[in-house]
Structure formats: structure tokens, C-alpha cells
Amino acid sequence: MNQTKSRPLVSNPILGMVFFLGTEIMFFAAFISAYLVNRANAGFTWPPPGQPRLPIEATAFNSLFLIISGVTLIVAWIAFKNKTQIHKWLWLTLGCGSIFVLLQGAEWVRLLHFGLTVSSSLYGAFFYLIVGAHALHAVAGLLCLLSVLRQFQNQPNLLKMPFAIQMAQSFFPAAALFWGFVVLVWPIIYLTVYL
């Protein structure tokens, strides 16, 4: 029953994730273009008077953690390829990502106190919509990374397999792609929504 097949160029989980990210890119593109259209319509009354301004510096500081998590992810990828210690880099990625989500959450609480809510203005509505969508993706990405760690714990010899099998059977490449998307889309959101 065994059948010889040529190995696929790109393994199943990675290919699936690439197609999924295509959909995700279109999803965020829709939010951001809707935001830009409304902002252009509003002209000089954007951001609307009487609404709190978004904390540009504090968010830049938070973003630093997200960017660091992206860097540690790249290091984790190299470790994955070289079959060296990957766990600590994954934990670092998880840690930095979680700090980003928590700090952003704290910022939301402050903004809600200052009176920026979904129904206070279109400005607030778009802010919570877009940043909230990103936050949901970040939490999903963190859960994916956690499941990667669990897989490495359950199948410790997966990391010693040939690279092709590693790529096909580990959750890591797909989860890394997803987290990479979460990191890379954030600067675009920051530049359009905050600045």
C-alpha cells in the first residue's frame, strides 16, 4: 500500500497558513481602508474635538515589546532549523507578546476612563474596532505558540527528526507565520490609527 511520492515543495501546514493569511490581509485591509475613507471625509475635524487623544508615546513603548517578540521568533526559527535550544526563545516570544497585550489592555482601561468609547464617536469606534481585532489576533497567536510548546513537550524527539519531517509535522512553522503576521501588521495599524 506504500506509495512513493515526490515531496511537496511546501508542506501542508505552511501552505494552508499562507492561504489563510491572504484572507487575513484582506480583512485588515478592509478595516484600514474604511478608517482612512472616514478620516478623509471628516477632514480637519479628525480627531474630533472633545475626544481624548491616543497615547502615541506610551503605545510606541508597548509596541517595542511586540517587535522584540518578533525578533526572538526569528531567533527561535534559526534554532528550529539548527536543532538547537528552541524553548527559551519561544518562551521569550510568548512573554514579550503577553506583555504587549497586557499593556495595551491597561491603555484601553485608561482611555475608557477618559471617555473614549465605541459609541462616543466614530474615532473611538474605529480605534476599538481595529485595535480590538488586532488584540484578538494577538491572543490567538499566543495560544498557537503555547500549543507549539506543548507539542515539543509531548514529542521531544520531533526536534531531532530530519528537517523535512520537522516542517511537515510541527505546529511551529505555521504558528510562527501567524505570529509574524500579527507583528508585521501592527506597525501599519500604529501608523494609520495612532498617528
Largest CA distance in the chain: 72
Q: How far is the CB of 169 from another protein (least distance, A)?
A: 10
Q: What is the rounded distance in angstroms from the CA atom of residue 141 to the CA atom of residue 182?
A: 7
The yes or no reply on residue 115 touching another protein (CB under 8 A) is no
The yes or no reply on residue 62 touching another protein (CB under 8 A) is no
The yes or no reply on residue 42 touching another protein (CB under 8 A) is yes
Q: How far is the CB of 139 from another protein (least distance, A)?
A: 17
The yes or no reply on residue 15 touching another protein (CB under 8 A) is yes
Stretch that binds another protein, among 14-22, 49-57, 85-93, 147-155 (CB under 8 A): 14-22
Report which of 77, 93, 87, 94 is spatially closest to residue 163, judged by C-alpha positions.
77
Place of cell 508542506: 11
Q: CA 68, 69, 73: angle at the middle one, nearest 5? A: 115
Name the amino acid, one letter, at 151.
Answer: Q
Applying CB under 8 A, the residues found at the interface with another protein are 1-12, 15-16, 19-20, 22-31, 34, 37-38, 41-42, 45, 118-119, 121-122, 125-126, 129, 133, 164
